[in-house]
């Protein structure tokens, strides 16, 4: 569906990294989610977890965090979302995004990924790196938050 992918860029961002790491020795099943609600996240996450049970697979959910807010506010909002991810609380992530006005564009896929990993026996989350565009480009009035997190068994 071209409309679904018109403004979607997470797959094209992740693919070069996978190609760099694995060459052509991997298979990819790309899922683009328009609906990011609790019911969809649960249904897709549960199904994905069941399909992948017993397989050698990695689930990647791609998103950035808060968009175009002052550094301190972006960090504070992102810490709330990251906290929910690290505690594997996919429903709490959805609630935090809504109640705190966190402008993550891929919160549904992240919730789906957490739900799938729980199905696969996930035990904990780990923050690998967090920064904002202000950390790399210098002080600015509006930043975008970025994070790298892993979910582990």
Instruction: Summarize pLDDT for 88-106 with one digit per residue, the tens.
Output: 999 999 999 999 999 998 9
Calculate helix-pair angle for 90-100, 107-119, nearest 10 degrees: 160
Q: Does residue 74 contact residue 145 with C-beta atoms inside 8 Å?
A: yes
Q: Does residue 150 contact residue 96 with C-beta atoms inside 8 Å?
A: no
Instruction: Summarize pLDDT for 109-149 with one digit per residue, the tens.
Output: 999 999 999 999 999 999 999 999 999 888 889 999 999 99
- DSSP label of 6: S
Q: Measure the CA–CA gap between 123 and 105, rounded to whole angstroms.
A: 25
pTM, full prediction: 0.91
Residue with tokens 């970025």: 146
Kindly tell me if the per-residue pLDDT of 5 is higher than 70.
no
Laid out side by side, the sheet with 124-132 consists of: 67-69, 143-152, 124-132
- DSSP label of 147: E
SS (HEC) of 83-138: HHHHCCCHHHHHHHHHHHCCCCCCHHHHHHHHHHHHHCCCCEEEEEEEEEHHHHHC
């Amino acid at each position: 569906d071209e409309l679904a992918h018109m403004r979607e860029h997470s797959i094209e961002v992740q693919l070069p990294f996978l190609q760099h790491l694995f060459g052509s020795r991997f298979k990819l099943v790309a899922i683009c989610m328009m609906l990011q609600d609790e019911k969809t996240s649960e249904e897709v996450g549960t199904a994905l977890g069941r399909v992948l049970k017993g397989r050698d697979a990695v689930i990647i959910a791609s998103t950035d965090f808060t968009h175009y807010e002052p550094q301190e506010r972006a960090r504070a909002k992102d810490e709330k979302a990251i906290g929910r991810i690290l505690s594997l609380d996919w429903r709490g992530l959805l609630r935090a995004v809504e109640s705190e006005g966190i402008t993550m564009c891929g919160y549904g896929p992240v919730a789906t990924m957490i739900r799938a990993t729980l199905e696969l026996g996930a035990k904990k989350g780990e923050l690998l790196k967090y920064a904002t565009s202000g950390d790399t480009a210098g002080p600015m009035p509006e930043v975008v938050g970025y994070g790298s997190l892993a979910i582990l068994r």
